[in-house]
Structure 1
């Protein structure tokens, strides 16, 4: 499979390494939005996009509009997300998005969904806190993964919304975002009450888990049409 890598930072380099180990050819490595000429001449079967929030929309759009299946993990730009889903549907394109491609993290998402659903009947008794810790280079705050975890809790009607840094009411999920050197990613979800505490944690040890998930997603989407997430890839 010929893979175009759009966004050739630390994640892009990890993706290239994993893709080559899995016997794929890297047809394009590009740090900016590729031109139509460059994209077409690369003869790419699929693109994997890990760029910056300001360029993600353009990167994904040009791939969808030119019939190149695209997998994206860029966070911090999702105000335009629904527009891309509509473009994908109109063009009968192939677009897979996830805020986190780690296989373990996607299982963690499902555990958190189940836990918040089970606790929904006693939601007033519990305060919910999501703590996320990343490297200092990470631009968006809170992380896309933390927002996905919070969204699942809200969808299960356990809490109404989330807030950053300081909780004002018990109906809010408190998100704490911390940035340190050399931390690939830690996410902790705590459900705390006067009678008990429940805590679940996922800790990434390197970027390779995210890169592997992205390459597996690219393999999966190559001959499919529509909008997808890692949930479909992993059959969750």
Structure 2
């Protein structure tokens, strides 16, 4: 399989190593203002760039009929436009806030727990996410995905960063919000904790990434799965978790 890497930072370099170990070939390594020369040779593209570049990268692939997966977060205000382009071009696209196998199992656990806890209003849910200091967006895409799954399976209506919560937020409004504490600490690949707290006890689930290997392997597996398909998919499809 010939792969175009769109974004060649630390994640891109780990993806390259794992892809080569799995017998694939890298035909493009694009960073910054590099051109898309070589994209037409690719069987699939993997985008781990920056929020400002993601939509341009994904669009270039879809316009060139190249299946593309993106693990870049912070651009989802334009997600519907990308989906529309993919449908118009009859392309193939996967967005994942996190491609790690363990995180996607964690997503399933979080969703199941949210359904259980929705019956017990004495518990208030909150979240904490910790990432390296180079991460540009906060909260993380993974934290947003976790929050959305809780909202879809409970009476919560929204999430808010804990340090951005207005001082005049009423108790009734606060009760419907999921507070997310986003921390940036050197050399932390990613830690996410969901806590249900009551006056008498707490229930907590947590995922801790030890390195970037899990994210990179999941991205390559998703790319392998996507080749030859048409449509918009998620890691639930890749891992047959639906």
CA distance in 2, matches of 1:142, 1:87: 27
Alpha-carbon distance change, 116 to 33 in structure 1, aligned in 2, over 3 angstroms? farther
Indicate yes or no: 2:132 matched with 1:132.
Answer: no
1:17 aligns with 17
CA contact 1:33–1:55 (8 Å) conserved in 2: no
Q: Which residue does the alignment assign to 1:39? A: 39
Secondary structure of the residue that 1:125 maps to in structure 2? coil
- CA drift at 1:195: 3.3
* 8 Å contact kept, 2:28–2:36: no
Tell me the equivalent position of 2:2: 2
Q: Aligned to 2:179, which of 168, 174, 180?
A: 174
**Residues 90-109 of structure 1 correspond to what in structure 2 (within 5 A)?**
90-109=88-107
d(CA) in 1 for partners of 2:154, 2:193: 20
User: Is the Cα contact below 8 Å between 1:130 and 1:175 reproduced in 2?
Assistant: yes
Structure 2, unaligned stretches of length 5 or more?
none
**8 Å contact from structure 1 (residues 162, 172) kept in 2:** yes
Q: CA deviation at 1:125?
A: 1.4
Q: Does the 8 Å CA contact 2:67/2:227 hold for their aligned counterparts?
A: yes
CA RMSD of aligned residues (A): 1.3
Deviation at 1:136, TM superposition (A): 0.3
| Number of matched pairs | 233
- Find the aligned partners of 1:34 and 1:183 in 2 and give their Cα distance: 29
Distance 1:232 1:3 in 2: 21
Q: Name the counterpart of 1:144.
A: 141
Gaps of at least 5 residues in structure 1 are: none
